[in-house]
Structure 1
Amino acid sequence: MPMPEHIGIYINAASKHIRRHLDSIFYEYEHLTGTQACVLGEISHADQEGWPYYQKNIEHHFGMRRSSANSLISSMEQNGYLTRAPVKEDARLKRLVLTEKGQKTSNNIKQRLDDFEASLSALYTTEEQAELLSLLKRLIDQVPDPKCTSCSNSTHQERM
């Protein structure tokens, strides 16, 4: 009797496959994972748009727990990619700011991230892409992470 196919197993496998592929793309950069490369890109984009970027943004956008986001930020800080700058209006908040090394690296990796995203998009028609995104967003909204308190009761649209 063949094993039944399970949606969760395929989603998990796809996620790991993409993460490993991104890690291999950015292997040449000192201590930089694919997730960290994406975070650099997000912070750089926010800076270009004039928006402040905080740890909570990483937690929401990447679906991370607070401890995981903090560990990722600490590692990137230790490796010289970013710093945490105090916010005048709220001493508890620390804005994430790219260092010169972080900005230079972000500029260097932007095209690679864009190329990877284009290669994923090329696998599907425009209609399939829209349907896939809709299904994934619904999945994220409907399967809450009980350990991610910052993710509870928020819709995917708010996170993205």
Structure 2
Amino acid sequence: MKPKNKTVATWLTFLGGPLGLHRFYLRGFGDLLGWLLPIPTALGLYGIERVQQFGQDDMWSWWLIPLVGFTISGCALMAIIYGLMAPEKWNARFNPGADPEALPGRTNWFTVVGIATALMVGTAVLMASLAFSFQRYFEYQIEEARKISQ
């Protein structure tokens, strides 16, 4: 079994996490969560398509678009967790039988850049998803209140 590199896992989680690529890299193609991760991603992208087709007043898009944002944010968080994991813990978990200080579990500058990028992008996507969700929800509530008052 080939050793799992922490830097590769960090970048795969950040860049391909919403498609489950990091899960397949770390756990193999039998990982159920790896196969399920593309579902909320695809639903969120469908929500973006619905906004382009039907406009911002489409209620289904309000529910679907945050799915892709939360999936991207969750994967960015996992990239940070993987990148910050101690080499001993990394090798014990993903490279059993390897030396606790083996090279694949060590952190290098490329790992640190991946952590910082995941932190910046993940935070921005999470805040944008929350802002979009709350804005659309409150606008809907105001519109419904206007209907009731008339």
Q: Provide TM-score, normalisation by structure 2.
A: 0.28
Q: Answer 1 or 2: which has greater strand percent.
A: 1
TM-score (norm 1): 0.27
Structure (1/2) with the larger helix percentage: 2
- Bigger radius of gyration, 1 or 2? 2
